[in-house]
Amino acid sequence: MDVFIALLVFSAVVGIFVVLVRRSNAQARTLDNPQAYQKPELLTRAQRKELNLPRPPAATVPIADSLPKPKPAVTRAIRTGWSIGVVAFTYEDSVGNITDRIVTVHSVSSMYIKGECHDQHEERTFRIDRILGELTDCETGEILLPKFWVTSRKR
Query: What domains appear along the chain, each with residue ranges and CATH number?
Result: 76-153 (2.30.30)
pLDDT in tens, 68-95: 666 666 666 666 666 788 899 999 988 8
Q: What is the mean pLDDT of residues 51-69?
A: 61
pLDDT score at 20: 86
DSSP type of residue 120 = T
pLDDT in tens, 11-49: 999 999 888 888 877 766 665 565 555 666 777 878 877
Provide CB contacts within 8 A for 88, sequence distance 6+. 100, 101, 102, 103, 135, 136, 138
Dist CA 74 CA 59 (whole Å): 34
Strand partners, 98: 92
